[in-house]
Structure 1
Amino acid sequence: MIVTERQITGLSQAVIADLVAELGPVWQAGCDAELLDRPRRRAVGAGAKYRLVFVDRLLATLVHLRHGVTHDVLACWFGVDRSTITRAVGEVRPLLAERGCRIESGVRLRTLADVIAHLGATGQTGIIDATGIRVRRPAAHRAGRNRFVSGKSRMNAMKALVVTDARGRVLFCGEVRAGSVADITQVRDAGYQGLAARTYGQVVTPPGKRRGKNLEHLQWLMAHHEQARFAHSSRRMPVEHGIAHLKNWRTLARHHGRRDRLPDTIRAVAGLLSDQQCCQQRELKMLPTGSTA
């Protein structure tokens, strides 16, 4: 039922099948390595069996990411204890985060450096922006309690950089910082200053402010600046659409868990969204000419 209903996981059956085939052996290898790290007290195959197989663990994690469902509800749904769901999400989420964002060629982009190299090799345009994700405020009387307060949105948040192509498909999402950090500072902290110049215009950045002393010249500069801002805002709409698709996953609309787990959650959702976007693009190419999806 969960696999066949895309509204539940946000992914098609083909994408889920690929995830099972890709991550199942990795998860099993991790379990085997954990058993080998300590002296064995039982024979191979002895002991309690998992009540939640890997496929169910993956589906529980997908539902949690897509709808923000609590572990208690998922435990009732799958007929296991809450701690089992917590452990399953904790095991699967890092595996999803490590995959990176997929592009049409099947290559995965895991860092900003990978994105810049991809844009330079293909000549495509990348659009960059930051999005705030609401988080819990640190407890009272703790140091750094105010550093998560965003001066723009007036809420406790953490920011993530988002890079999409000209069609709004996600290429990267990460480099998470506290909400009080400005967008441009976040980009500089990531190690990329002067992105527009370094990529020969392949990364779209906001136009700089125009200043002047002469009144007539200043008015002309302001009018020119407004035109440049309007043209820039029109070009950056794809990244806004990409952010909207990310926020459709409720765990990114408002994060109720621990803040130190948010980076993995963001990267996991970005990778899953890119998988679904590539799958949709592949299905469109398979349609007969002149037909619509």
Structure 2
Amino acid sequence: MGAGAKHKLVFVDRLLATLVHLRHGATHDVLACWFGIDRSTSTRAIGEVRPLLSERGCTIGPGVRLHSLAEVVDYLGASGQTGIIDGTEIRGRRPAAGRKNREKFISGKNEQNAVKSMVVTDAIGRLLFCSPAQPASCADITHARQLGLVTLLADGPVVEILADAGYQGLGAQTGGRVVTPPHRKFKKNAPDWYEKMHERQRKAHSSRRIHVEHGIAHLKNWRALARHHGRREHMTDTIQAIAGLLSHQQTTILMADQRM
């Protein structure tokens, strides 16, 4: 404690620089000009504050935060709420030529270099959890299994989790707690009555889980997640820091509306 070079910025200014960088994507050079410091000083400030923000977790009440997927499942079970999950991809810089496992960062969906995170919201779209970043080639259902979602739902409280077709198969592994769109029973020459019924069920499910898309859209409004230009090693801290800040804002607005 106390070792190393002394800070040229007080903590409030370091926090402000980090928030501007995350929200508007301002480069370290621009921040250095604004605060009248060297570029290395702004880089050091962001590198110190960003992990602190990512460790805060997602706010669900005054002084109450969720830090892990297990805490989210327990919270949903205790409150009787429905959770919604979905994966989102964040474009990043292409790995250097010759780097090992370079192809893992290529998305099979968009064929672009990206990383993936699993987002969990409640039934109204309030952010509850954003997972650490994974290479975009990882399938949504594989990512959910790696995070331990199957074990948490099978051994934990009774929770309903809505998901899209990319998670089909988790319902059977979790005793029906993960609800996905219905499978098509007819691949060819389906009767008209079945097509109408299937489309009605699909739309009903989509209308219930649309709120997670709104939550992801709010995340992507932050410039740092619209397209990441920094190092991929910082992606997990960046995603979880923004999720924590956004969830705090959402909870504050929700509580204000309830008091009115």
Bucket of the pairwise TM-score, normalised by the shorter protein: 0.7 to 0.9
In structure 2, the partner of 1:268 is: 241
Deviation at 1:260, TM superposition (A): 1.0
CA distance in 2, matches of 1:34, 1:235: 52
In structure 2, relative to structure 1, the CA distance for the partners of 1:87 and 1:246 (3 Å cut) is: same
In structure 1, the partner of 2:61 is: 104
Which piece of structure 1 moves more, 52-61 or 152-161? 152-161
In structure 2, the partner of 1:151 is: 108
Match 1:257 to one of 216, 221, 230: 230
Q: Contact 1:75–1:81 (CA<8 Å) still a contact in 2? A: yes
CA distance in 2, matches of 1:213, 1:168: 33
Deviation at 1:134, TM superposition (A): 0.3
* SS of alignment partner, residue 150 of structure 2: coil
Structure 1 residue 83 corresponds to structure 2 residue 56: no
CA distance in 2, matches of 1:150, 1:259: 15
Structure 1 residue 285 corresponds to structure 2 residue 258: yes
Kindly indicate whether structure 1 or structure 2 has the higher relative contact order, using CA contacts under 8 Å at least 6 residues apart: 2
Identity %: 60
Structure 1 residue 69 corresponds to structure 2 residue 26: yes
CA distance in 2, matches of 1:145, 1:78: 37
Which piece of structure 1 moves more, 97-106 or 195-204? 195-204
* SS of alignment partner, residue 230 of structure 1: helix
Deviation at 1:220, TM superposition (A): 6.0
Deviation at 1:227, TM superposition (A): 2.8
Gaps spanning 5+ residues in structure 2: where?
164-179
* SS of alignment partner, residue 172 of structure 1: strand
In structure 2, the partner of 1:9 is: none
In structure 2, relative to structure 1, the CA distance for the partners of 1:82 and 1:154 (3 Å cut) is: same
In structure 2, the partner of 1:231 is: 204
CA distance in 2, matches of 1:66, 1:227: 39
Q: Contact 2:125–2:215 (CA<8 Å) still a contact in 1? A: yes
Per-residue CA shift, 1:140-170, capped at 9, x if unaligned? Answer: 1222111111111221111101111111110
Per-residue CA shift, 1:16-57, capped at 9, x if unaligned? Answer: xxxxxxxxxxxxxxxxx353xx9xxxxxxxxx7532110000
In structure 2, the partner of 1:204 is: 162
CA distance in 2, matches of 1:63, 1:213: 51
CA distance in 2, matches of 1:185, 1:127: 17
Amino acid at match of 1:168: G
Q: Contact 1:195–1:203 (CA<8 Å) still a contact in 2? A: no
Which piece of structure 1 moves more, 250-259 or 146-155? 146-155
Deviation at 1:228, TM superposition (A): 2.5
Deviation at 1:249, TM superposition (A): 0.6
Per-residue CA shift, 1:85-108, capped at 9, x if unaligned? Answer: 000000000000001000025311
CA distance in 2, matches of 1:121, 1:105: 17
Structure 1 residue 183 corresponds to structure 2 residue 140: yes
Deviation at 1:139, TM superposition (A): 1.1
* SS of alignment partner, residue 155 of structure 1: coil
Q: Contact 1:116–1:199 (CA<8 Å) still a contact in 2? A: yes
* SS of alignment partner, residue 139 of structure 1: coil
1:213-224 counterparts in 2 under 5 A? 223-224=196-197
Gaps spanning 5+ residues in structure 1: where?
1-32, 39-47, 288-293
Per-residue CA shift, 1:112-131, capped at 9, x if unaligned? Answer: 10100000000011111010
Which piece of structure 1 moves more, 123-132 or 172-181? 172-181
Q: Contact 1:130–1:161 (CA<8 Å) still a contact in 2? A: yes
CA distance in 1, matches of 2:107, 2:192: 32
In structure 1, the partner of 2:94 is: 137
Q: Contact 2:73–2:153 (CA<8 Å) still a contact in 1? A: no
When normalised by structure 2's length, the TM-score is 0.85
In structure 2, relative to structure 1, the CA distance for the partners of 1:34 and 1:189 (3 Å cut) is: farther
Larger radius of gyration: 1
Q: Contact 1:175–1:190 (CA<8 Å) still a contact in 2? A: no
